[in-house]
Amino acid sequence: MTMFAPLAGIWMPSPQDLRLFGAELSLVAAIVALLVLSMLFGRSERLGAGVALAAAVAVIFFCRDAAGLVDTGARAALTPPGAASMLVADRFTVFFKLLLALFLATIIWLWMTGAAAGRTGGEVRPVPAGPEFFVLLLTSMLGMSLMVATPNLLVMMIAVETASLPSYMLAASDRRSRAGAEAALKYVLFGATTAAVMAYGLSLLFGLFGTLDLPAIAAAVSVKGMPALGWIAMAAFLVGVAFKISAVPLHFWCPDVFEGAPVEVATWLSVASKAAGLGLLLRIVAAFGGDVPATIALPLAWGVGLVAAATCTLGNLAALRQESVKRMLAYSSIAHAGYMMMAAAIPPAAAGDATVRPAMAAIVSYLFVYLLMNLGAFGVTAMVAWSQGSDRLAAFTGLGRRAPWLAVPMSICLFSLVGLPPLAGFAAKWWLLAALGQGADRHSWLWWLVFVAVINTAVSLYYYVRVIRQMFLADDERLERLAVPVGGLALANGCAVLLLLLGTVAFGLMRDRSLAYAACLARAAPESVVAAQDRLAWNGGPEGMVVNGADRP
């Protein structure tokens, strides 16, 4: 196995390389610590939450550190000598890790709120149990962090599996719930099948190109063209990515899992899983930019665009008639994944062109806003479900009177999900559409995606407003006021305030920040293509292509 030769040898990453990946390492350390500590001190939920929180803080710390290193122009990749990079660290991966860490912290917050409510309120609710929950959460986060940070197909595959396996168990973490068990089973079956298809595509790609390094494959393709089998292999590989994004037609697991799983898990999967999948998709699409001829880059973009349009349309249409709010939010998350995928459909232009960055910045800002909106909406749904024992639409009746401090932030989150100004959801959608419009300068078919997006926006209003209608327009005097845990109030209102700020005064600030985070991937991708071409030339072109360190003299 020449592939592993560099690792079996004496090569060790330098301390600086390790600092770049301190976030991943601290996650691994936290996972091990959790397992060991719970063996030593017994199953303490508080301990689990504490360690997980510490891991989130460490990830944020290391990400800031890595961001500084990346900016000073340090070699931003974990590269065995002579081989292609296995992991890269650029501002784009830093963003995803920061996003995931922030999200992890809020999920822990939500979990603690729920646990406190379960204890004090006296009502039994399915709290995912202590250390296991956090171990699985951290493991899936590790997988997601790796997903966005690698140009290597094999590492991508491993990362996807690392993210997926704990997610299956998380979905079933309420052991008494039949719905949860059913959801987890569906999730596993779907996941296993798509993983098999993905592995098949991977093996075909390796057979065709003799390398697993994505930029090298892109370089080979740009010289030699894409064989028909290559298209099949690419499509098969992308099936695994589409599963993580829950893109149509691989979205069927999503509503069942979100409805059956505990709220914390559903919230986690709704944002984190899709974010990681989108990051991975973006990296693949960006790799096929640069010098890759349009005959290859364009069909890829069309394919992504078509799936994106189908995803947001079907997601929205299916959401229209849902009675369970969690299930409605699940379909809404499918729709939003569709919107975000549209940005990935913008064909990357030649190296140094400005069109990639707006697309990536759009996804970066959309993901951040989407996190806030979904967190708020799921959070309020959780509070309602905990006190009412149901997440049906009927449970929200009269919430405007019974718990105004839940109903108002919920409305803000929902209107933001629609994309109405002056809320952040509009800002996010605006940057997305602006990126599409800018891309349409060269590819006018992107205007069709703009149409699909705006018409879907109008359609989506209907189902989000159904919840608002139930909260404010319907009321039943017999229903009493709701007791809401303070932590939940803080979470929901915090999200709402941020959404208001990001939609108005911080509208431009968010843009600047997201452009900064999108900067490096756009720069890094063409560079690595150039590097791969150097190696190709050195190896005598794609015919004799063995891009691997061990084969070099």
Residue 305 is a binding residue for other proteins (CB under 8 A): no
Helix (H/G/I), strand (E/B), else coil: 124? coil
Task: Output the smallest distance, CB 362 to other proteins, in A.
Answer: 12
Residue 415 is a binding residue for other proteins (CB under 8 A): yes
Which of 32, 35, 323, 451 is close enough to bind other proteins by CB under 8 A?
A: 451
Task: Output the smallest distance, CB 257 to other proteins, in A.
Answer: 30
Task: Output the smallest distance, CB 478 to other proteins, in A.
Answer: 14
Strand partners, 152: 213
Helix (H/G/I), strand (E/B), else coil: 88? strand
Task: Output the smallest distance, CB 458 to other proteins, in A.
Answer: 5
Per CB under 8 A, which region of 93-101, 296-304, 315-323, 459-467 contacts other proteins?
Answer: 459-467
Residue 497 main-chain phi, psi, to 5 deg:
-65, -45
Task: Output the smallest distance, CB 437 to other proteins, in A.
Answer: 4
Residue 465 is a binding residue for other proteins (CB under 8 A): yes
Distance, first Cα to last Cα, the chain? 18
Task: Output the smallest distance, CB 433 to other proteins, in A.
Answer: 6
E strands, 22-135, are 77-78, 87-88
Residue 511 is a binding residue for other proteins (CB under 8 A): yes
- Binding mask of the shown chain, residues 43 to 82, with x at each position contacting other proteins by CB under 8 A: ----------------------------------------
Distance between CA atoms of residues 209 and 5, nearest Å = 19
Residue 323 is a binding residue for other proteins (CB under 8 A): no
Contacts with 202 (C-beta within 8 Å, 6 or more apart), sequence order = 153, 154, 157, 212, 233, 237
Residue 421 is a binding residue for other proteins (CB under 8 A): yes
Task: Output the smallest distance, CB 492 to other proteins, in A.
Answer: 18
Task: Output the smallest distance, CB 450 to other proteins, in A.
Answer: 6
Which of 36, 455, 483, 486 is close enough to bind other proteins by CB under 8 A?
A: 455
| C-alpha closest to that of 167 among 64, 258, 63, 240 | 258
Per CB under 8 A, which region of 28-36, 44-52, 375-383, 469-477 contacts other proteins?
Answer: 469-477
Residue 123 is a binding residue for other proteins (CB under 8 A): no
Helix (H/G/I), strand (E/B), else coil: 225? coil
Torsion sign over Cα 81, 86, 87, 88: positive
Residue 507 is a binding residue for other proteins (CB under 8 A): yes
Residue 461 is a binding residue for other proteins (CB under 8 A): yes
Cis peptide before 249 (omega within 30 of 0): yes
Residue 440 is a binding residue for other proteins (CB under 8 A): yes
Burial of 440 (0-12, 13-18, 19+ CB in 10 A): middle
Residue 122 is a binding residue for other proteins (CB under 8 A): no
Per CB under 8 A, which region of 23-31, 249-257, 367-375, 431-439 contacts other proteins?
Answer: 431-439
Q: Which residue has the tokens 């709704």?
A: 270
Which of 145, 457, 514, 548 is close enough to bind other proteins by CB under 8 A?
A: 457
Contact in structure between 83 and 9 (CB atoms under 8 Å):
no
Which of 44, 203, 388, 438 is close enough to bind other proteins by CB under 8 A?
A: 438
Torsion sign over Cα 133, 139, 143, 148: positive
Which of 189, 448, 481, 538 is close enough to bind other proteins by CB under 8 A?
A: 448
- Burial code (b: 16+ CB inside 10 Å, e: under 16) for 297-313 equals beebbeebbebbbbbbb
Q: By C-beta, is 97 or 511 nearer to other proteins? A: 511
SS (H, E, C) 140-174: HHHHHHHHHCCCEHHHHHHHHHHHHHHHHHHHCCC
Residue 454 is a binding residue for other proteins (CB under 8 A): yes
Task: Output the smallest distance, CB 459 to other proteins, in A.
Answer: 9
Q: By C-beta, is 25 or 500 nearer to other proteins? A: 500
Q: Tokens at residue 125, please?
A: 């609710």
Task: Output the smallest distance, CB 348 to other proteins, in A.
Answer: 17
Per CB under 8 A, which region of 111-119, 420-428, 516-524, 542-550 contacts other proteins?
Answer: 420-428
How far CA 131 is from CA of 2, 32, 333, 438, in Å, comes to: 39, 11, 28, 48
Cis peptide before 421 (omega within 30 of 0): no
Residue 77 main-chain phi, psi, to 5 deg:
-155, 155
Contact in structure between 114 and 246 (CB atoms under 8 Å):
no
Residue 358 is a binding residue for other proteins (CB under 8 A): yes
Length of the chain, in residues: 553
Q: What is the DSSP pairing of strand 77-78 with strand 87-88?
A: antiparallel
Task: Output the smallest distance, CB 466 to other proteins, in A.
Answer: 9
Residues lying near other proteins in the complex (CB under 8 A): 354, 358, 415, 420-422, 426, 433-434, 436-438, 440-441, 444-445, 447-448, 450-451, 454-455, 457-458, 461-462, 465, 469, 472-474, 507-508, 511-512
